Structure 1
Amino acid sequence: MPLDNAKLEALAAYNACDISDALLKLKVPGAGFLADITLRTPPSTTQTKDQTRPIIAPAHTVLFAPKSSPTPSIQSHFADLTPPNTITIISQPPSQRNAVLGGLVAARIQKLGSVAIVVDGRIRDITELRSLGLGVWAKGTSTVGAGGESKCVEVGGEVVVEGVKVLPGDIIFADPTNGVVSIPQDKLDAVLELLPKITAADDKVRIDVIENNSGLQDAFKRHRSSL
């Protein structure tokens, strides 16, 4: 089913913390937060006029494994399989020192229409990445290419980032300030229903605490307990 762009626009009025608050209410594991992944190269002002605005799009997933894994490498280069209007999610085995994304690969991914890249692992060629003007989030950096320790074994399957499952088509909310959250496709409507209620309750708590000198516990009980 085609994704309703109006729903993505509605999400853009919020931040990643709001999204996780909604996912926590919905009992989504980890509240959808892709932990320890931070913005490494910001999107250009030609991609988004407001560089604090989140980039929101369906996930396109890429899985790397250790070179020693019995699982064979895919036959194509994973960058050549990028669908347009997606956010590329790359999962790398933990504790590896090499990068799984560099300047040339990112340029190809961007050329095919990816709107951002999120790497559960390391990246390199930071100057090249910045010159692309593509938002890239990652856990860390390296000087070593992907062939050092890794190989790509799957595109378009499930990946797990710090205990959070991400499937192709899940909605990635890449917030330049607060971090990256994954919204399961089947939770999107429920998230959109909850968000205005959660933020309205927080606004009331803020007024009670700051302007009315209310205790925080009482304010939470008054405004959040019914959510």
Structure 2
Amino acid sequence: MLRLNDTSVPLPNSLWQDLGLASTATLSTVLIRRGLQRTHLRGVFPLRPGSRLMGEAVTLRLVPAREDQGEPAMLANPEYPQRKVVERIGPGQVLVVDAHGNTAAGVLGAILALRMARRGAAGIVTDGAVRDAAELRALELPVFAAGAHPAQHTVAHIAAELDVPIGCGGVLVLPGDVLVGDDDGVLVLPRAVAAEVAREAREQEELERYVQRRIAAGAAIIGVYPPNAETRAAFERERTGR
């Protein structure tokens, strides 16, 4: 049985501060060290290179469209899940759309994304396609997807459920999990360990910056990367000023 997240307790501000200093590469190292290997969404990358994303997951599950299901009028229904989530998403939240890897239509386009941006959303992530790619790239809202397609979502999908466990890019995403994205893709941080992972990643980044300075100054790799006890001790002396 899945253990769902308790989202009634807000995540600490320190989490976001630490995440702002950590790359997905470093976060991945920390997650793998903790035994969490299935956290990288396969085939999902920023629509605008250089984009950075972090926030809490709000999930939307799509199912394949079928000719006897769905109708054009559903797009005007405020209870239709794809429309409903646009008016429910809030500051710091990331919409994660489970499209089952189907890129035969865009899961949403520029108008819905603009509305979510105005509501303070932190980003959009999908293992499907998006439409209006040029307009989406012009928005400040980070968008991570598996591709672009001009057709609206009803050509290939019907929105089925909100705020349920989903799969995206081959990874389990629970409502309230923490999403982080950059040019290397998107990671899912389980909510229960997100703050600890972020702190460890920030500390790892500090160590790696020290290592980079050593390498740039001419040091050889062995003993410096990965850092041995002597290198770590030298880093601690520099960090603490001792």
TM-score range, shorter chain: 0.7 to 0.9
Where do 5+ consecutive residues of structure 2 fail to align? Answer: 1-8, 233-242
Comparing 125-134 with 79-88, which one deviates more in the overlay?
Answer: 125-134
Q: Deviations over 1:164-211 (max 9, x none)?
A: 211111111122x33222111011132134224423443454455554
For the pair 1:18 / 2:26, whether they are aligned, the reply is yes
The 5-angstrom pairing of residues 6-155 of structure 1 reads 6-30=14-38, 32-41=39-48, 54-68=52-66, 75-81=79-85, 82-85=88-91, 86-155=93-162
SS at the partner of 1:165? strand
Which residue type is aligned with residue 55 of structure 1? L
Secondary structure in 2 matching 1:100: coil
In 1, the alpha carbon distance for the partners of 2:148 and 2:30 equals 31
Which of the two has higher C-alpha Rg? 2
Q: Which amino acid letter does the alignment assign opposite residue 79 of structure 1?
A: R
Q: Equivalent residue of 2:18, what SS?
A: helix
How many residue pairs end up in the alignment? 215
Deviation >4 Å, runs of 4+: 69-75, 207-210
Q: Determine the C-alpha separation between the residues in 2 that align with 1:115 and 1:193.
A: 21
Counterpart residue type for residue 115 of structure 1: A
Call closer, same or farther: CA 1:14–1:97 in 2, change over 3 Å: same
Query: Match of 2:205, as an amino acid?
Result: T
Deviation at 1:64, TM superposition (A): 0.7
1:41 to partner: Cα distance: 4.1
Cα deviation for residue 212 of structure 1 reads 5.1
Distance 1:217 1:91, change over 3 A: farther
Deviation, structure 1 residue 95: 3.9
Q: Which string of whole-angstrom CA distances, capped at 9 and with x for unpartnered residues, describes residues 107-145 of structure 1?
A: 333333312111211011123324443221111011111
For residues 52-102 of structure 1, give each alpha carbon's deviation from its aligned partner in whole angstroms, at most 9, with x where no partner exists: 573321111111111249999994242333320201111102244111111
Structure 1 unaligned regions, length at least 5? 43-51
Contact 1:34 1:161 in 2 (8 A): yes
**Secondary structure at the residue paired with 2:101?**
coil
Contact 1:34 1:179 in 2 (8 A): yes
TM-score, normalised relative to structure 1: 0.79
- Percent identity over the alignment? 21
Conserved? CA contact 1:71–1:153, under 8 Å:
no
- For residues 22 and 224 of structure 2, what CA distance do their matches in structure 1 show? 25
Letter in 2 for 1:35: R
> Which runs of structure 2 are paired with 1:183-198 in the superposition (5 Å)?
183-198=189-204
CA distance 1:143–1:113, shift in 2 (3 Å):
same
How do residues 152-171 of structure 1 correspond to structure 2 at under 5 angstroms? 152-171=159-178
Secondary structure of 1:29's counterpart equals coil
- Provide TM-score, normalisation by structure 2: 0.75
Residues 221 and 14 of structure 1: is their aligned pair in 2 closer, same or farther, counting only changes over 3 Å? closer
Query: Aligned partners of 1:178, 1:164: CA distance in 2, in Å?
Result: 16
